Structure 1
């Protein structure tokens, strides 16, 4: 009788290297997502998570649609991020209300993006300012 290989405990990487993580509330699924981010993107994910927690101590976390989400209880989600082949895309759900505007436009009027690429530094001070602004706005309340 042929032996079956043991199932892998590592998450599957979807298109662009985005980890497939089950939907869940709290820090644990977010950390599982970050742990599964491939290569240099994992360091970016850890740094984003650290900055978000430092800037918004009351932050709520979840994984939805294979992406970490960050929000404030009673206000909704203000940010998520997602791995693509050559960058990590940060989504500000109410980014059009931030000053200055995050650089990436969206087909959704309120949404703005920040793409973080390997070996291209981004302005962490500005990112923290955006985090603080975004966390004070009514967020996205989709489930």
Structure 2
């Protein structure tokens, strides 16, 4: 195990980036793992992650946070989660777990009937008013257990 480069800590103490540039962050609950994930997001994605986190926290002040499956999760109750985001090579994908119930429905479809996505690319302008409205709506819908 000590000779396996995948198992050894990195010299710069930075999380390893997985396929597409998604940070590998240990599962954890609360603010610290989410902020570690956001700090490890590569390039412009880190600024976007900070903005998304701020908008979510401002919209749902008592939001619960966690990192699971190398993605931050946001929940409004103790039973589950309403939103997550994940880094890909050229965009950040926001997942609304009950997105089919939002008005208007976010543009990205999923193989899962209720899930809808919002893909945010580097040069895109985030419609913060619409994003906040989706977050507010999503936070009061039944949450997704994970």
Q: What is the TM-score when the length of structure 2 is the normalising length?
A: 0.92
Pairwise CA RMSD:
1.3
Matched, 1:66 2:70: yes
Matched, 1:53 2:62: no
Residue of structure 2 equivalent to 1:93 = 97
Matched, 1:14 2:15: no
Residue of structure 2 equivalent to 1:112 = 116
Q: What is the rounded CA distance, in whole Å, between the counterparts of 1:24 and 1:6 in structure 2? A: 19
Q: What is the rounded CA distance, in whole Å, between the counterparts of 1:63 and 1:16 in structure 2? A: 18
CA distances 1:77-113 after superposition (whole Å, capped 9, x unpaired): 0000000000000000000000000000000000000
2:93 counterpart SS class: strand
Aligned residues: 138
Q: What is the rounded CA distance, in whole Å, between the counterparts of 1:61 and 1:74 in structure 2? A: 11
Q: What is the TM-score when the length of structure 1 is the normalising length?
A: 0.93
Structure 1 runs of 4+ with >2 Å offset: 5-8
Structure 1 residue runs without a partner (length 5+): none
Structure 2 residue runs without a partner (length 5+): 1-7
